[in-house]
Amino acid sequence: MKIKRIDHVGVIVNDLSAAKEFFLDFGLEMLGEGEVEGKWVERIIGLSDVRETVVMLGMPDSQVTLELVKFHTPTDEKGIQQSFANTLGIRHIAFAVEDIESVVANLQNKGTELFGEIQNYENAYKLCYVRGPEGIILELAEKIG
């Protein structure tokens, strides 16, 4: 057995257009969008009466994709639960970036929240966390040198 790579990361959202716009503004590229429903997907994910819209986004020069999913049915009764960096479970997606200050400024101009501040980690990386729509947390990392 051999694991080849991470294929994609799936993010479930309520406001698909806001999440899509956020990641397109961030620099991802649109790969496709479509409706998904039927017994085959219900058997894969273990839910009934599934109808969803899926948006696939890619990073330039990368095989890894980001899948945004809006479930029309069934819906999550609890809604969006605000999480913090220490909330248990999968919490953030990390992106390697160039010119982190410029990336953060661009995101803040569009309403993205910076958790704290950009920090220099042992002169190896500049790091920060930002929160986008629907509570999506991104870690941004710029390699120094």
- Per-residue pLDDT of 93-145, as tens digits, reads 999 999 999 999 999 999 999 988 999 999 999 999 999 998 899 999 999 98
pLDDT at position 109 is 94
Residues of the domain holding 114: 93-143
Number of structural domains in the chain: 2
Q: Are residues 12 and 68 in the same domain?
A: yes
Q: Give the pair of three-digit tokens for residue 29.
A: 């590229």
Distance CA 12, CA 50 (A): 13
Q: Are residues 69 and 110 in the same domain?
A: no
Res. 77 pLDDT band, cuts 50 70 90:
confident
Q: 97: domain CATH number?
A: 3.30.720.110
Res. 86 pLDDT band, cuts 50 70 90:
confident
Q: Give the pair of three-digit tokens for residue 38.
A: 């039927």
* Residues making up the chain, counted from first to last: 145
Q: Are residues 64 and 119 in the same domain?
A: no
Q: Is 29:58 a contact under the CB 8 Å cutoff?
A: yes
Q: 25: domain CATH number?
A: 3.10.180.10
Distance CA 28, CA 130 (A): 16
Please write the tens of the pLDDT for every residue from 34-75. 999 999 999 999 999 999 999 999 988 888 899 999 999 998
pLDDT at position 105 is 96
pLDDT at position 43 is 94
- Detail the DSSP E strand segments found in 28-124: 29-37, 51-58, 65-73, 93-96, 113-114, 119-121
Reference 7, options 69, 50, 62; nearest CA is 62
